[in-house]
Chains A and B, each alone.
Chain A
């Protein structure tokens, strides 16, 4: 229904009664005239009775309507474009509910999600009309409901809906909703979003031109409530080797989202027991620099196997979900390293592999608790079997690789292993470039750079520059001056690849001597010179051992050590055992208890891939004919945490969102009623005064035609009524 700018002028509608009054008065005040006979008048009236009746009422109607429309036009009716959203029956709506983890924050009596769900159900409960609304959750798609969005079923599905990990896929859902509405013929359309206005969720909307161009208003119902008392764990970093007797170091970042300073107790738990003392952390209120803090824990890993750990904020607040961060570590005995020794006659009197061997296993397999367990393999015997169970492989002056060897190595590194290449006099640079670099060029190559010419045969040794901040060299000495000089006489030129490469040791010319890069889930390290003493003094310095050890420990963390993942992502499960054909990995999700297990095939790469949608501890085991029970490597665990982005509770500024999405309209409110009122208040007006006026003009023409149709008094007398004599 339209509104009127000057509604009091609607009193003019009373003018519609004027034609009726005039008609009545004209009857009353008609003059009197004598006439010779009424005979012909009566006959005429009888003949024209029906037509006169029609004409009379038609004219009365036209004149009354004319005056009424004139009054309407003068009162200036107008329609508000989005004001009509209050008439739910005439609006096609899409309802999007944010069910990301941040919606678990308390809001009033329940959570933000409870509030969103309640309001959405109230909206669905309105008269649907010809355009029943459909409901979508931001995470994990639509609620499980029959295709037909029957209100009862949709409400039941809403009751069953739960929070889902991962940040809210709000932008995608809004685009889908807007596209669905574009196909509808409803006069008014709207997208309702029930959310907590989390910036990380709403900012991606600004990058979607489809939303701006669609012209469908967005009605955002803010379910965040008033104020939030929350300190959350934003992220946790694990450092150290997942090796027995090694220390695990955890660093947890805390963020205070409250509008007041907070002091919280944070504790570290492993396998269900608190380890060490809880730590008190003081944080300033949200928005201040001191609102973030870091707390660290250190723990010696004493037992082999899978361990489930937690960093816990002991104090309750409005958002319990970010008070716990879990991790799953598989603590191994030692880092399993393989040394592939090349060399040969060209190697020289001192086998470079030996230097590495000593560096990697200084206690030579004694009972000393050394971190690395080393196997040595001749270059000719290098293959898939050599890599079985290994976490890191060193190549000492290996001349080259066959295709199969290169493929096995590539898989090994891609899965998380580390490959370290010490070049030497027997190395075929071309082979390395072809088999390790060019063969895997699509993935960036299995080398940090192209191996070029061997240089420095007659030149004096050069002192290498060291990147003392690199983890391989960092904190080995107090100061940079304490580090020994590394002198290199001969080395291969390494031309850097396009991908970022870490230069740990560099020649004065800038060429990398020791370089590393990530490849897949693993690492590749290239030393452009040998481990032997003829070409350099690396083995004589005190750097080779710690560098090699650190490379091993780093590898130990990547492969099979830390089984902590982000919920909502794909997780690769790698059973470290030889599996028969047809073997399956059976994954038991954490919730709900007793949930159906997921059966996954094992791929040719030995991996099973699982979508970990839920938060918590997953268990897996290998099943199949020929799979031995309880064999090592045939079962495991991993744990998932919510997307840490969800704990970034900074709110999107409504004005920024509204201006960013213009010309699409965005309205905000704490409830459906509030947001509709905001829409109505801001609605553009469409003045409709010209329409009744156009009809008035049309009616004037019609009235003139009808009224004058029978006004023929001025016409001349027909010939028969003029005097003429009889024939």
Chain B
């Protein structure tokens, strides 16, 4: 297979998923069909119903007839049989730029994962967009599925660099408002923000009828804290320093990080949000494969 011209797109890995893409597709479809089972309206050929006009909606779909009758603006909604509108939200804050002994930083891992997901969705004619953010949105590519769009996604990812501080909750709220159409929101982040604020923001997405999948990304060192010596730790985002004797802390640290993860896991479960703990030690393609197969088994029950 020819070498990919893109940094974060690895066709050989994507090919592994492509080999089972049928299954994935079926899962996606099943998943999507699940979506589709609920009232899901998109821009297919078949007219489905009206909804009130919101600023920013495409005026091509404005129903002038309905305006003439009611003197109010309505947008036509169409049945979308197979197309999915997905957003991949990639956290590019400073905390994502961490790697201890893994092959890649969390940011790089996230880019790989985002590229792979974008490819899979585009390949299935789904619309996929990418939003990269730290304390503000760094990249916003609205969903599309053309090869050119995929190229824009891949190159856009390559141009990204990890930023500084994080403002996840604020960004999520903003995106929840901006993303008008229901779709799939895939979040790739370490979620190092105030969990309550983040969960409220996620709730905002849920309110907007989006389906969420969170790939909660950690370097393995963040989970098992393998440090032995007294170390001066430096915060990647704030630059603050803290001297710690890891041997005296490791158990308590694990407790804290575990509690942090547990909360997200539990709260996401309560909100029907897909939560996937994603240590970067596991290759993203393998992780994704395992995840999709698990989903497939669940959906077949």
Query: Which residues from chain A sit less than 8 Å from chain B, CB to CB?
Result: 26-27, 30-45, 47-48, 51-52, 55-56, 710-713, 717-718, 720-727
Interface string of B208-241 (1 = CB under 8 A from A): 0000000000010011111111111111111011
B-side contacts of A47, CB under 8 Å: 252, 255-256
A-side contacts of B248, CB under 8 Å: 48, 51-52, 55-56, 710
Which of A33, A35, A45, A721 is packed against the most chain B CB atoms within 10 Å? A35
B-side contacts of A718, CB under 8 Å: 254, 258
Query: Which residues from chain B sit less than 8 Å from chain A, CB to CB?
Result: 94-96, 98, 106, 190, 192, 219, 222-238, 240-258, 260-262, 265, 268-269, 273-279, 282, 287, 291, 294-295
Contact present for A713 and B247 (CB under 8 Å): yes
Distance in Å from the Cβ of A308 to the closest Cβ of chain B?
Answer: 101
Contact present for B231 and A31 (CB under 8 Å): yes
Q: A40-B257, A42-B242, A723-B277 are in contact. Are A34 and B98 (CB under 8 A)?
A: yes
A-side contacts of B247, CB under 8 Å: 710-711, 713
Contact of B243 among A30, A721, A726, A727 (CB under 8 A): A30
> Residue of A at shortest CB range from B234?
A34
Contact present for A723 and B279 (CB under 8 Å): yes
List 12 A–B pairs whose Cβ atoms lie within 8 Å, in order of A's numbering: A32-B233, A32-B234, A34-B234, A35-B235, A36-B190, A36-B237, A37-B192, A44-B252, A713-B246, A723-B279, A725-B274, A726-B276
Contact present for B253 and A40 (CB under 8 Å): yes
Contact present for B276 and A41 (CB under 8 Å): no
> Residue of A at shortest CB range from B276?
A725
Determine the distance from Cα of A34 to Cα of B106 in the docked complex, in whole angstroms. 14
Determine the distance from Cα of A51 to Cα of B233 in the docked complex, in whole angstroms. 21
> Residue of B at shortest CB range from A31?
B231
Contact present for B256 and A30 (CB under 8 Å): no
Contact present for B278 and A38 (CB under 8 Å): no
A-side contacts of B250, CB under 8 Å: 710, 712-713
B-side contacts of A42, CB under 8 Å: 242
Contact present for B95 and A36 (CB under 8 Å): yes
CB-based closest 3 A-B pairs: A44-B252, A36-B95, A726-B275
Q: A721-B223, A721-B258, A723-B277 are in contact. Are A44 and B249 (CB under 8 A)?
A: yes
Pair count A-B, CB < 8 A: 142
Q: A30-B230, A33-B233, A713-B226 are in contact. Are A721 and B276 (CB under 8 A)?
A: no
A-side contacts of B222, CB under 8 Å: 35-36
Determine the distance from Cα of A26 to Cα of B244 in the docked complex, in whole angstroms. 11
> Residue of B at shortest CB range from A29?
B230
Determine the distance from Cα of A711 to Cα of B245 in the docked complex, in whole angstroms. 10
Contact present for B237 and A717 (CB under 8 Å): no
Contact present for B251 and A710 (CB under 8 Å): yes
Main DSSP-derived SS at the A contact region: mixed
A-side contacts of B246, CB under 8 Å: 713
Contact present for A35 and B243 (CB under 8 Å): no
Distance in Å from the Cβ of A229 to the closest Cβ of chain B?
Answer: 85
Distance in Å from the Cβ of B219 to the closest Cβ of chain A?
Answer: 7
Determine the distance from Cα of A34 to Cα of B257 in the docked complex, in whole angstroms. 17
B-side contacts of A727, CB under 8 Å: 269
Distance in Å from the Cβ of B93 to the closest Cβ of chain A?
Answer: 9
Determine the distance from Cα of A41 to Cα of B261 in the docked complex, in whole angstroms. 15
Contact present for A721 and B251 (CB under 8 Å): no
Contact present for B229 and A31 (CB under 8 Å): yes
Which of B228, B241, B245, B260 is packed against the most chain A CB atoms within 10 Å? B245
Q: A34-B98, A35-B98, A43-B256 are in contact. Are A723 and B249 (CB under 8 A)?
A: no
Contact present for B219 and A44 (CB under 8 Å): no
A-side contacts of B287, CB under 8 Å: 723
B-side contacts of A31, CB under 8 Å: 229, 231-232
Determine the distance from Cα of A42 to Cα of B238 in the docked complex, in whole angstroms. 14
A-side contacts of B243, CB under 8 Å: 27, 30
Determine the distance from Cα of A26 to Cα of B228 in the docked complex, in whole angstroms. 13
Contact present for B249 and A41 (CB under 8 Å): yes
Determine the distance from Cα of A33 to Cα of B246 in the docked complex, in whole angstroms. 12
Determine the distance from Cα of A507 to Cα of B204 in the docked complex, in whole angstroms. 154
> Residue of B at shortest CB range from A711?
B247
B-side contacts of A45, CB under 8 Å: 242, 244, 249, 252
Determine the distance from Cα of A718 to Cα of B223 in the docked complex, in whole angstroms. 10
Contact present for A720 and B233 (CB under 8 Å): no
Determine the distance from Cα of A34 to Cα of B222 in the docked complex, in whole angstroms. 11
Determine the distance from Cα of A99 to Cα of B98 in the docked complex, in whole angstroms. 97
Contact present for B230 and A26 (CB under 8 Å): yes
Q: A713-B226, A726-B274 are in contact. Are A32 and B232 (CB under 8 A)?
A: yes
> Residue of B at shortest CB range from A716?
B224
Contact present for B235 and A726 (CB under 8 Å): no
Determine the distance from Cα of A323 to Cα of B282 in the docked complex, in whole angstroms. 118
Which of B230, B248, B278 is packed against the most chain A CB atoms within 10 Å? B248
Q: A30-B243, A36-B219, A52-B248 are in contact. Are A725 and B294 (CB under 8 A)?
A: yes
> Residue of A at shortest CB range from B237?
A37
Determine the distance from Cα of A724 to Cα of B226 in the docked complex, in whole angstroms. 21
- Apart from A721-B257, A722-B277, what are 19 other A-B pairs with CB-CB below 8 Å? A26-B229, A30-B230, A31-B231, A31-B232, A32-B231, A33-B231, A34-B236, A35-B236, A36-B95, A36-B190, A38-B240, A41-B253, A43-B256, A44-B253, A44-B255, A48-B248, A717-B223, A720-B265, A726-B268
Determine the distance from Cα of A48 to Cα of B247 in the docked complex, in whole angstroms. 12
Determine the distance from Cα of A239 to Cα of B251 in the docked complex, in whole angstroms. 111
Contact present for B234 and A33 (CB under 8 Å): yes
Contact present for B245 and A38 (CB under 8 Å): no
Determine the distance from Cα of A721 to Cα of B225 in the docked complex, in whole angstroms. 12
Distance in Å from the Cβ of A187 to the closest Cβ of chain B?
Answer: 45
B-side contacts of A710, CB under 8 Å: 247-248, 250-251
> Residue of B at shortest CB range from A26?
B230
Contact present for A723 and B268 (CB under 8 Å): no
A-side contacts of B255, CB under 8 Å: 44, 47
> Residue of B at shortest CB range from A37?
B192
Distance in Å from the Cβ of B231 to the closest Cβ of chain A?
Answer: 5
